[in-house]
Structure 1
């Protein structure tokens, strides 16, 4: 990025853009977390059952 700048003023503008805080709209969107919360996941018992089924299938092969 610095190599593409033609002068010091352009380097400073590039750095100011790079290190500027994100706009308020972007902060609101990311504040909710990365993934939706709900019943989409599996609990520990379901995970154990799936692992046992996979182990049984691997043993068959």
Structure 2
């Protein structure tokens, strides 16, 4: 969908400066979102600790097993 939006904005632009400005606006983070600070680009506060990661993996495995059981597979 971004490619379609970018193509439409490029087609409507009068010159390269306007294209660059609209592309920067299109790909800018939403207002109110904190800047990405980690090396991976993820905000540090969104990281999971080891216990939370293990709990999430166990929960996903249990959900997977339940879904596989419903499919008969």
Q: TM-score, normalised by structure 2?
A: 0.33
Richer in helix (by share): 2
Q: Which protein has greater RCO, CA pairs closer than 8 Å, 6+ apart?
A: 1
Larger radius of gyration: 1
